[in-house]
Chain A
């Protein structure tokens, strides 16, 4: 069997994508299609005094112009953040009201105040420009510094000083004591740069309303259509769940940015009812830069203490997170529970304390972006280790080795119980692959060419497979984090798997089929995966946090357990054998040691003809299951980046990038490697190229690909990817999840390499050529001053 677990099966979904037959949301066009265009604020902070729609309404082909007061007047609820975080003093987070169309105030450039519905997209856009909005501009706080300054503009009335929460995790006294007892304390200030996710498919929504049935259908670019329906129904009061169908068809990348419910989807649904038309909105890239949730954006000061043997004695972190103008769906959890619990890294650290303050600013909301909190943690911990090694004059790999966790499970002082791993071996593998031993010679050779060569490590851990519902609930999550599956064996033996996971590039149609093919020993072609439609699939939780394999596939496995049990009952009955003697192989259910068998499709047919089933058995062969993990999974990795810097220009070339990962069991190595490639590319993007910049007035200055640097082919190397497998004991497949590792592990490896090359540790991301050139100069003048 070459299609089962562990095989690089070529993707089944590729044929439609390579022939232009993919079906994305913007490809949907209904019969009575109309188009929406939003009227957006050019001001970062302003009161909406009046909206004059006369000129727009007078245009031929304009169907309606709708505003926020009408929307709230129809009972459409505010957008919410679904994870409640309490401050250290026990007070709840200060969540400000967020209407899909602003009613009183706009709080970031791009905040929508009205929507135009027109016969064509071009006309809708032109008419939107004709809507006259009278704004009274207010002082702007576009940065953390501005938002936290004394007398800063108040963005939401219920968040004094723009503070959303002041939260902590760990034992502060213990961390202080650990630092006090240290022989050496490393202090680091760093910034985690703000990023725009930029999936290549812009967001889109097509909403239609059936007045006779009072039923809505929404096509949308979502990573979790089921949760979208729940939230649209329960919180935004668009329609009860049974009157709302949400379909996420082919989705062109997400990276977190398509997890959330956005104002546009709510508005399109509501507008479809108001106008009795199908309403389509598709973002253009300029609009995406303005309105897609951003990622990261932290500033941190941290201290780590070491004893005389280089063992970590304590770690104390103070982070301020910019959440933008409103609290998006998961935003509160990203700098808290997805961040602080990772502060132990791959290390045995007994004393940790992490304080996080979250702050409003007049910028687009910030939420999860590939890795979500874990890249920020890994960047801090791994920059810290490298910096400490330099200060202690130790080999950075050796310092890490002295602190690695050695046995599993390992309980950290910050909530997490690591499941499985072998960190020293992983680092060995990476060092070998990177030929670290040969580095000094390569560095000397580069120096002859006038180039500065550097090497940087990142040995990181992540928590994936979000996660036990009970634990999440106790920490404030508003939803459970299990996953569902339904496995349908058809009368002819083909199999449909309906999963609550959602694929937007991850290749589920192939990998999910592989685990079914493996289990029932049938061709992968005979299995199809159905996802992304709330009318077809039962409630599920969607794809983010590298959870499709550890949670989504596990649910499929549970459902297959049930199918197998029934199959064996049916076959045992038909073959007059004991269930214990049956094996499923070679497309049949066989009685061990005999030539008696039932072909796979014969079992299916038997289940549905129901002519000869065991007494009391229901006909049919379809099982559902829900899987709720007992713990997160903990993929780990050892990345080594080697760079060459041109001191004349600051241009950095990545000459080698090694990624050694432990994802537990691997279903399809080709797809897993693809995930690593893409994640590393995004990590390199964060480290060297990408940054969202707002000016002091809250104007977005990086609002197109002319100014926001997307990694291109020529910016990136071939990656050397390898794996070790320590299966996770917490799910039936032993998988850990692979979607985010690259984005989590790469940034510190890159910055550690560049700072090594230039001999100046003070370098913020993105390390553009300009920034590196400046750091080289600053390093030289610092040396001259010494």
Chain B
């Protein structure tokens, strides 16, 4: 057991956990933030993506104990109180989700994607969005409306 402290969605949290605890388990089981999902075990589906120190990370392939002092944002922490993040709004506006299981990871990846392109001053086209989504799998939507959602939010973020 190791005591790990981090800042999750703006709140400081500390828990004693076995060293092998993955960040996804830490969030889901220790903090009961069950919006972060686990959809595969080979780090490919992206349902578990959260932000660690401002970068998109697959929480199923990250040890919680390695994140002492880190700033973590999960899907539960994306909205500003009752006001949804533009990406969350765009997914609703554009029907970018169906079963909702991949959605938290999709949105966290998308927010990171748009932020990175904005920071680098690059334009995000639909082709680039599709490439950037290589680490996120959705089985329901055929991606059409996910790409539309990200294009939409990108214009508003």
Contacts and interface: CB of A to CB of B under 8 A. Distances in A.
Interface residues of B, number: 55
B103 interface: yes
Contacts of A679: 142
A200 B139 contact: yes
B82 to A, nearest CB: 10
A681 B95 contact: no
Contact of A285 (B45, B92, B145): B45
A704 B39 contact: no
Contact of B131 (A198, A284, A714): A714
Contacts of B107: 18
B44 A19 contact: no
A286 B144 CA distance: 28
Given A18-B88, A682-B139, A718-B147, A712 B101 contact: no
A713 B32 CA distance: 30
A251 B140 CA distance: 12
Interface string A659-685: 000000000001101100111111000
A602 B41 CA distance: 55
A20 B37 CA distance: 9
Contacts of A677: 141-145
Contact of A704 (B18, B42, B142, B144): B42
B141 A678 contact: yes
A706 interface: yes
A11 interface: yes
Given A18-B91, A677-B142, A705 B98 contact: no
Given A15-B92, A22-B35, A201 B142 contact: no
Interface string B36-48: 1111111011010
Given A10-B93, A19-B79, A505-B99, A285 B42 contact: yes
Given A678-B142, A681-B143, A18 B102 contact: no
B84 interface: yes
Interface string A17-30: 11111111011010
Interface stretch (B51-59, B61-69, B70-78, B116-124): B70-78
B145 A705 contact: no
Contact of B101 (A18, A29, A252, A719): A252
B55 to A, nearest CB: 19
Contacts of B78: 19
B157 to A, nearest CB: 15
Contacts of B39: 200-202, 285
Nearest to B144: A677
B6 interface: no
B137 interface: yes
B133 A712 contact: yes
B33 to A, nearest CB: 7
B92 A18 contact: yes
Contacts of B76: 19-21
Contacts of B146: 713
B36 A14 contact: no
A18 B84 contact: yes
A27 B24 CA distance: 13
B129 interface: yes
Interface in B80-130: 84, 88, 91-93, 95, 97-104, 107, 126, 129-130
B88 A253 contact: no
A405 to B, nearest CB: 29
Nearest to A677: B142
Given A20-B35, A674-B95, 18 more contacts: A14-B100, A18-B104, A19-B78, A21-B76, A22-B35, A26-B38, A200-B138, A250-B99, A253-B139, A285-B45, A670-B95, A677-B144, A677-B145, A680-B142, A704-B40, A705-B45, A712-B137, A714-B130
Interface of A: 10-11, 13-24, 26-27, 29, 122, 198-202, 250-253, 255, 284-286, 504-507, 670-671, 673-674, 677-682, 704-706, 710-714, 716, 718-719, 742
User: Which are the 9 A-B pairs with shortest beta-carbon distances?
Assistant: A20-B35, A252-B101, A17-B100, A681-B142, A505-B99, A20-B75, A677-B142, A505-B98, A713-B133
24 contacts: A17-B100, A17-B104, A18-B107, A19-B35, A21-B35, A23-B34, A201-B99, A201-B101, A253-B98, A285-B40, A506-B98, A507-B98, A671-B95, A673-B95, A674-B95, A678-B98, A678-B141, A678-B142, A681-B142, A704-B42, A705-B42, A706-B44, A712-B130, A713-B143
